[in-house]
A and B are shown apart, each in its own frame.
Chain A
Amino acid sequence: MGTILRIPTFTYYDNNTVNRQSSMSFILDDVLLNKVKTRYSSHGSAIWYEWSGNDVLNIPSKVNNAIGFPLLSKKTVQAILPLANETPNPSILQPVVSDILNKLYIEYLLHTNIANDIPSALYSPSTNTYLGVYTSGHSANNGYAASRDPAGVDYCYLGAYNYSVGYNFSVSNSKAIFDLEFPIYPESFVIGREFNSDYFSTGSHGYDVCYSIEVVVEYEKSTSKITSVQVSASTYGNMYTHTDIVKGMSSIGSDAQTLDTDNPYGEGGSATVGGGDGKYGDIDAVNGTEIPDLPGLSAVDTGFISLYNPTTSQLRALYNFLWSNQFDLNTFKKLYADPMQCLISLGILPCVPESSGATNIKFGNVDSGVNAVELASQFAQVDCGSVDIDKYIGSFLDYSPFVKISLFLPYIGFVHLGTDDIMGGSINVTYNIDCMSGDCIAFISHNERGVIYSYTGNCRADLPITSQNYTGFLKNYYQALAGVIPATINGAGGGAAGAIAGAAGGALSVAETVLLDNKPEFQRSGSCAGASGMIGVQTPFVIIERPRFSVPDKVQKYVGQTSNITLNLGDCTGFTAVEFVHLDGLNATSEEITEIESMLRSGVIF
C-alpha cells in the first residue's frame, strides 16, 4: 500500500457576506504548522492557539472519533488577526488577511517535495502563484478536486475549499455553520515532477481521485466555541459516507497517526488483534520417560556391609554357629564388644537382588562356615508385566468421566489412574526396590507415553532379632501404617457435567437424557506396606468401571450423532442438524429464511 500524501488544508468560513474570509484556520500538517508558528509568531496581534487532547475546539480530534480512524493530526491552530482599526480580541472572530495564508501556503510548497514536484510551467513568479494550483482562497469549481479545464489545463485543489455557498453553510447573529473539508490524495497523485495524468480528465469529478472528509462545524459566536462537529454523509453529490472514507483510507494505505487523547484508558487504546502465533508443532509428540535403571552404587560396594540371601536352614546354621563353641569369642572380642553389633538387619522381602555367588557368611570378619548366596547389590527390580486398556466403543464413553480405572499395587494399595492417560494403550507395572530399607517405588508406564505414574511403598518385613531392634520393628510398623496415601480420586461427579456439556442442541432436553453420575467414590484399601503387604495380594490388578449405557436402536436416524464438521448440506444424507449457517442464494422472504434456519438447527432429514 502506498502512503498518503497529506496536503495541508486551510479553510475559512464566511463571517457575514459571501466570499469573505474569516480568522479561523485549521492547519493540519505538522511541518507547516511549525513553519507558521515560527515565521509568524508575532504578526501584529496574531494569536496562535494549539488545540489538542480534550479541548472542545479540537475539531480534528472529533473528526477522528467520528470516523473511527486516526486520520488527522491532532494539532490545530487558530489564527486570529485583528482588523487594522480594531483592538485584537481573541473572543471575537475577525477577518484575516488572506494573503498571509496564501503566502504561507506557497512557502510551504516551496519547502516541501510537493513544490518540487509541481510542474514548473504551472508557477507564475510574477504573481507568485501556481497556475492550476488553488489554495483555499479560491472557490470551489463544482467540487472538482482535480480536473482539466476546457482549455486542457490540469488543475487541482491542494487544500480545502472556500465555501461561499455550500450544503451546510449558514450564518446568523449567534452562530455560523460551515463545512470543513480535508481532501486526502494518494501518493500516486504526483509522479516525479508531474501530476499523474490518470487523475485528470475533462469533465470528471475530482472527488473520484481523493478521499474527502467533510465535516459540518457549528460555531457559537458568543462563546467562541464549536458546539458541534459532525462528519457529513455526502460531498458534492458523491455519496461518500465516513465508512467509505475509512475503506478508502484502508485501501490506499495510510501513515499511522497519533490518536487523540480522549481515550481515558490511554491514547490509542489497548485493544488489538492477536493470536495465531503458535508454532503449530507436533501436538502429539511424545518423548516418554523410561523406567529408570537401578543405581550403580550400593551399600555392598563399600565393604562395610554384606548382604546375603540365606535359606531358612542356612539361617539356622548361622544361629547355631553363634551359640556354638566354634564361635571364637576371643577373636571376636578383639573386634567387637557385642556380637549382635555385626548383625545389621534381617528381613523378609518379596524379591532378591542380583547374586554375586555363594560364599561363607562372615560374621564380624569371623568365618561362620555357613555358605549362602551373597548379593551384589541392595537394589532389585520386579517387572509385573503389562495389561491392555482397550476402548470398548471408540467414543467419548471410553474416557473420563464415564470410565474409571483403579489399580492395585502390592505393598502400596489401590490407586486411581486417569482414564484419559491410558485408554487405548497398555500399561506396565515395574517395581524398583531397595532391599536394605524395603522402600519400593512402582512405575506405571504407558506403551507410548512412558512413565506416567509412580507410587511409593515399603515391601520389607523386618524380623526382630534383639530387644533393641524389636522396638525399631514396631516403629517401622507404625510408620508403614501412616505411609502410603492412595492417589487422588478422579472422575468424581464428572459424569453429569460431561454429559451436560455434550447435550444435543435443541434435540433433547439434558434433564431427560442424562443420568446424573454423582455416585460417591470409595477408597478400596488402606496402606499395604511392610508386613501387612506380605500377607496381602502379591500381583497387581486393574479394575475398569465402564458405564452401562442405554442407546435406542437406530438412534442416529432420529437424532444423528455428534458431528461439529463444516459440511456442504448437499453432501448430507439422513438426519442433519446445524449449529451455524449463513443461507445464501435463497429467493425467499426473510420470514421463510428464518424458518429454514430454525428447522436446520432443530434437525431435518435430507
Chain B
Amino acid sequence: MKLKLYNNLSDKIVVDKNITQLGSTLNGTLRENCSVIDPIIKVEGIVGSNLTKCNYAYIEEFGRYYYITNIVCVGNLFELHMHVDVLMTYRGSIRSNSAVVSRQEKLYNLYLQDGVFKEQANPHYEIKKFPSGFTSFNFILAVAGD
C-alpha cells in the first residue's frame, strides 16, 4: 500500500486543495481491518516538520484523499486517523454534474431576494422636485348669460 503525506493549506470546502507532499511515498501493508472512509494507518518514521505539517494524505490503493484528523503516538509509531476528502477525491465527477445552484460567486441574479444583507436603522432619503407645478393664481368669474 502506498501512502503519500501532504501539507494542505486549503479550507475544507475548497474542491482543489493546495497540497504539498511531505517526504517520499510510504510503502506498507495492511495488516488489520481498515475502513476506506475513515482509515487508521500506523506509520513509522515521520520526523521533524513532516510530523508537524502533516495534515493530509492520499492512499493510492483506496484512490482517495484524506484529511488527517488526529495523530496518535503509539510507541515509535504514529497512528494517523483519517477521514476521506470527498471533494478532492471526486472532483472530476462532481464537475461533470449539473445542479440548481442557489448561490454563486460569479453567476448570480441580484434581483432574487437575499437574506444575507443587513440593513442599518437610518435609511437614505432622496427628494426630487418635479420640474414645474402651479405657478400663478387666477380669478375665475362666472356670470350668467353670454
Contact = CB atoms under 8 A, between A and B. Distances in A.
B113 A396 contact: yes
B142 A346 contact: yes
B138 A565 contact: no
A115 B80 CA distance: 80
B53 to A, nearest CB: 22
Interface in B91-117: 93-117
Interface string A494-511: 010011111111011010
B33 interface: no
A535 to B, nearest CB: 11
A309 B126 contact: no
Contacts of B34: none
Contacts of B115: 499-504, 508, 510, 513-514
A587 B105 CA distance: 28
Contacts of A588: 86, 89-90, 93
A306 B105 CA distance: 71
Most chain A CB within 10 A, of B14, B109, B134, B145, is at: B134
B118 to A, nearest CB: 4
Interface in A538-571: 538-551, 555-557, 559-571
Secondary structure dominating the interface of B: loop
A191 interface: no
A605 B134 contact: no
A515 B121 contact: yes
Contact of A572 (B89, B101, B132): B101
Given A304-B144, A346-B139, A393-B110, A514 B118 contact: yes
B105 to A, nearest CB: 3
B92 to A, nearest CB: 9
B145 to A, nearest CB: 5
A165 interface: no
A364 B145 contact: yes
Given A396-B112, A551-B117, A588-B90, A563 B142 contact: no
Interface stretch (A123-131, A138-146, A590-598): A590-598
A584 interface: yes
A416 to B, nearest CB: 15
Contact of B102 (A571, A577, A589): A577
Interface string B111-146: 111111111111111111111111111111111111
B48 to A, nearest CB: 31
Contacts of A362: 143, 145-146
B84 interface: yes
Q: How large is the interface on A (under 10, 10 to 19, 20 to 34, 35 or more residues)?
A: 35 or more
Given A410-B133, A542-B127, A574-B106, A344 B142 contact: yes
B16 to A, nearest CB: 8
Most chain A CB within 10 A, of B37, B97, B121, is at: B97
Contacts of B93: 583, 585-588
A342 interface: yes
A365 B118 CA distance: 73
B126 A546 contact: yes
A379 to B, nearest CB: 12
A351 interface: yes
Given A540-B130, A581-B99, A605-B11, A548 B145 contact: no
A562 B109 contact: yes
A382 B13 CA distance: 63
Interface string A376-405: 000000111111100001111101001000
B66 to A, nearest CB: 12
Contacts of B124: 545-548
A541 B143 CA distance: 36
Nearest to A433: B134
B137 A545 contact: no
Contacts of B140: 307-309, 345-349, 352, 375, 435-436, 460
A361 B111 contact: no
A342 B109 contact: no
A606 B102 CA distance: 15
A504 B101 CA distance: 11
B94 A586 contact: yes
A436 B89 CA distance: 84
A166 interface: no
A578 B130 contact: no
A572 B107 contact: yes
Nearest to B98: A568
B43 interface: no
Nearest to B112: A562
Contacts of A510: 115
Nearest to A575: B105
Given A306-B143, A347-B140, A384-B130, A575 B119 contact: no
B90 to A, nearest CB: 5
Contact of B101 (A342, A347, A564, A583): A564
Given A348-B139, A541-B130, A556-B105, A569 B120 contact: no
A570 B133 CA distance: 58
A466 interface: no
A576 B138 contact: no
B87 interface: yes
Contacts of A583: 93-94, 97
Nearest to B10: A605
Given A315-B139, A504-B114, 4 more contacts: A505-B102, A513-B118, A548-B119, A560-B108
User: Ordered nearest first, which 9 A-B pairs have the shortest CB separation?
Assistant: A502-B113, A503-B115, A574-B105, A539-B133, A385-B131, A561-B108, A350-B134, A560-B103, A395-B110
Interface of A: 299, 303-312, 315, 318, 341-352, 361-365, 372, 375, 382-388, 393-397, 399, 402, 410-411, 429, 435-436, 459-460, 495, 498-505, 507-508, 510, 513-515, 517, 534, 537-551, 555-557, 559-589, 591-592, 595-596, 599-600, 602-606
Interface of B: 11, 13-16, 36-37, 84, 86-87, 89-90, 93-146
10 contacts: A311-B139, A350-B138, A364-B145, A387-B129, A396-B111, A396-B112, A499-B117, A551-B118, A572-B106, A599-B86
